[in-house]
Chains A and B, each alone.
Chain A
Amino acid sequence: MIRPHRDHIGRPIAAVTGMGLVTSLGVGAADNWSRLTAGQSGIRRISRFPTEGLKTTIAGTVDAIPVAPYSAADLATAIAEAAGREAIVQAGIGGIRQFPGRLIVATPPSELEWPQLCALYASEDVAAPPGYHRLLAAARTRRFSEFARHVRFASISDRLQETFGTRGEPLSICTACASGATTIQLGTEAIRRGDLDAALCIGVDATVHPEGLVRFSLLSALSTKNDVPEKASKPFSKDRDGFVMAEGAGAVVIEDYDRAKARGARILAVVRGCGEKADHYHRTRSEPSGGAIIGAISKTLNDAGLAPQEIDYINAHGTSTPENDKMEYVSLKAVLGEHLAKVPISSNKSMVGHTLIAAGSVEAVFSVMTINTGTLPPTINYDNPDPDLPLDVVANVKRDASVTTVLSNSFGFGGQNVCLAMTAEPA
């Protein structure tokens, strides 16, 4: 009997054995990686719907997997399936429709969009009472029961469970823009507890529709630099003016390390640690001292058994909003101290935009690919560095570096802060 591998406090180890990606840059992790490291942008003018009257008219939409007519639920389902399938194939785990573990998925809001609301409304006689009375009368005809998939929170996870044959009750979670990282945290914790041998963790978002865009616009969160779309997202730059909304799906298969080794799987990386801390300051802003972000980073290092000096590279949350990038710097500085100046940092969002619910998943995949290839993806549009954020930003072109340990940050509205520490397979 070989002695089981355990982490620094005796827990089973969670290994990444498969990954899948869909973003505005393309379909598939390899394709995404080659474009990302070439410094290409997936941000473009929105063609899905008319943008007249909107302050922001650009986004990182996923157009490569056509879903007609578009709806957030249907596009999210399609790209989550594509990413999930790629991850399972790479991991080589289970049979067809027989994934030997639980599905943990982060999905966008489940709601009716205007095309469905309008279809319901138009189906009823104008003599019917207006407003929701009329919508309800239309719903009572049972002619629109297929719309239920848009409003059932369990519908995307249900579809994915059927597609992949995952075991047990799937988990559907939301920690806003930290959600993707939370799926990986939940999977890692379950493997460490011995509850699961494997988990399929997917984060997905596909909500570039008029109301989706307007919501963030009204919160003054979006860049309005519409003229040159690929130049709009400029994390850590002095003239950054907001994030660019984007779509995507990231999938990660994580497994108990020993079981993965026993079946001959290639270990892509290890989820060495994860940590989270809630902020009490404001619904959309961080406590000015960075306390909660600092807490999340510190808890992650503690959970991983890592000293700050052991971080080789940071995959930043880096949204390109004035607030986020400043608070991310302040918090990193507080935890990493002088070491921060020596740690290269990139924001993938400079190219793929902010994939919201999916961001933590997408960026976890890019973090693992950084470890696997020794290539640091660039932060493009870094032409005018913010002097208040003295960071070693991987500026505009990729850089070669040997990376063992990546810190990946994810922060969200509602005071959500989640960090992951991913490392190369232990020697």
Chain B
Amino acid sequence: MPQPRTEAWITGIGLVSSLGEGLEQHWQRLGSHASPSVAVEEVRYAPYPVHPLVPLDFSKQIPKTSDQRQMERWQRIGVYAAGLALADAGILGKPEFLDNVDLAIAAGNGERDLALDTSILESAGRSGAPGADLNRQLMAGLRPTLYLGQLSNLLAGNISIVHKATGSSRTFKGEEMAGVAALEDAVKRITSDQSDLMLAGAALNAERQDLLLNLELGGALLQGCYRPVWARGKVGGGMVPGSIGVFLVLESPRHAIARGARPYARVSTISATRSHRAPGQAASAAQELFEAIAPSIDSVHPLGVLSGVSGVEPVTHEEATFLDGLARFDLHSVVRAYGSVLGHGVEAHFISGIALAALALSKGSFFAPFQGTESEAIGEQRQVLVTAFGHWRGEALGLVEAVAAGTP
């Protein structure tokens, strides 16, 4: 592997979830002083609990109603969070920077028209045969712009339109690993001097039955009452999807210093692999990734770990095995499974973990336990490991580190 030419600093963060809007609201609810509580909707989508987004006034970031009308909710959430991140970095509304912002985004598909689907299934659907009836209903019933609300890359497209961030844009797919790939692309382009300024992020609208259907086909959802991720194994496991919008501004130190921007933290490593998920494989795949990072782990300070564990089995058990194994590396780790409080953000999940890691490092403190079984934090973390075990595929680790005072 080549040596990076420079570092990738996080200089802006936009985060919206069921817990609040912006970093401070999240710190108030989750920080070292807090008694974390969750916001869960258990009735509307029963038997599936979901974490609903806090009420947002989307027009604060997307002033034109014509723009809002041409987006589905997942895109509005993402464009909103992207605006928060750009504002936080101090470049919102500044064309001299925005025209060079490169976008790396993780996305799935957007929402379907549930009423239209239902009406077609009720009338023509039982035969299962495509034909003139289906064609006519689709031609008459589909909103012309709905497809633009569904296309994976139209979150990026809408960010370019609304916020005028137009350096370039790439959208990555593949559930949890999409978030890993987007961040890997952003970090590599910064550290190899390909880009000075990146906007990386994702959004999930968890409050939709079509998304739940897709996840339920793979048997990935928790049913019944909410419980924290480590407590789901005994009821068969499963994720509780959470609505999340998360965006990071990543920047080269040279560019950040030149415009007087301060870093929350730096992303030093993103590494990923894909095991075939025979028993034990996911845990050992992640351990191999960690062995490559281990030499750069500081043994003086405790290692913060933000686990992206989804609650889906058997991979949640694999991740527990991996985390238990960290003890062998002669380090003291403090684990927080952030899916217990944010819900599972699928494409947005890993980037949310990186955002929380940067938040904690910038506060010089770690999160309160998210579940009774997690231990209290001691000492000051200078490094936070973020894990991603995809609920179906993919294993990845990210390392976020404090930027030394007075750097460079």
Q: A residues engaging B (CB < 8 A)?
A: 49-55, 107, 109-112, 114-115, 117-119, 121-122, 130-136, 139-140, 142, 144-145, 147-148, 151-154, 157-158, 161-162, 168-176, 182, 186, 189-190, 193-195, 209-211, 214-219, 276-284, 292, 412-416
Contacts and interface: CB of A to CB of B under 8 A. Distances in A.
Interface stretch (B25-33, B150-158, B292-300, B354-362): B150-158
A59 to B, nearest CB: 14
Interface stretch (B52-60, B125-133, B246-254, B337-345): B125-133
A218 B209 CA distance: 25
Given A132-B114, A283-B148, A169 B213 contact: no
Contact of B161 (A49, A148, A157, A283): A283
B135 A413 contact: no
A385 B207 CA distance: 51
A282 B161 contact: yes
B147 A174 contact: no
A109 B178 contact: no
A152 B212 CA distance: 12
Given A131-B114, A218-B147, A278 B165 contact: yes
What 5 A-B pairs are tightest by C-beta distance, nearest first?
A414-B157, A131-B118, A132-B209, A53-B135, A118-B128
B174 interface: yes
Nearest to B194: A189
Given A136-B216, A218-B144, A413-B157, A278 B168 contact: yes
B101 to A, nearest CB: 9
Contacts of A173: 170-173, 181
B321 interface: no
Contacts of B214: 112, 148, 151
B135 A415 contact: no
Nearest to B275: A169
B180 interface: yes
A153 B175 contact: yes
B64 to A, nearest CB: 12
Nearest to A217: B139
Given A122-B128, A168-B272, A169-B274, A414 B216 contact: no
Contact of B174 (A172, A189, A216): A172
B107 A158 contact: no
Interface stretch (B84-92, B378-386, B388-396): B388-396
Contacts of A278: 103, 156-157, 160, 165-169
B217 interface: yes
Contact of A131 (B121, B173, B177, B394): B121
Contacts of A162: 276
A139 B216 contact: yes
A172 B213 CA distance: 22
B153 A169 contact: no
A219 B144 contact: yes
A162 to B, nearest CB: 8
Interface residues of B, number: 85
A132 B120 CA distance: 12
A412 B148 CA distance: 12
B328 interface: no
A215 B165 contact: no
B128 A194 contact: no
B132 A50 contact: yes
Nearest to A115: B128
Given A114-B134, A145-B217, 15 more contacts: A50-B131, A109-B150, A110-B109, A112-B214, A131-B118, A131-B122, A135-B121, A168-B274, A169-B274, A173-B172, A193-B2, A276-B168, A276-B169, A277-B166, A414-B154
Contacts of A214: 135, 138-139, 142
A219 B108 contact: no
Contacts of B134: 114, 210
B216 A172 contact: no
B148 A210 contact: no
A169 B180 contact: yes
B192 interface: yes
A159 to B, nearest CB: 11
Contacts of B210: 132
A158 B209 CA distance: 26
Contacts of A111: 109, 112
Nearest to A140: B216
A189 B168 CA distance: 14
B169 A175 contact: yes
B234 interface: no
B218 interface: yes
Given A110-B108, A175-B153, A117 B121 contact: yes
B154 A283 contact: yes
Contacts of B70: 283
Contact of B218 (A54, A152, A194, A279): A152
Contact of B217 (A148, A194, A292): A148
Contacts of B158: 283, 414
B1 interface: yes
B188 interface: yes
B319 to A, nearest CB: 16
B177 A154 contact: yes
19 contacts: A110-B108, A118-B126, A122-B126, A132-B209, A134-B121, A135-B213, A136-B209, A140-B216, A145-B219, A151-B217, A152-B392, A158-B393, A172-B174, A174-B173, A176-B151, A186-B170, A195-B2, A210-B138, A278-B160
A194 B192 CA distance: 10
B273 interface: yes
B125 A122 contact: yes
Nearest to A12: B2
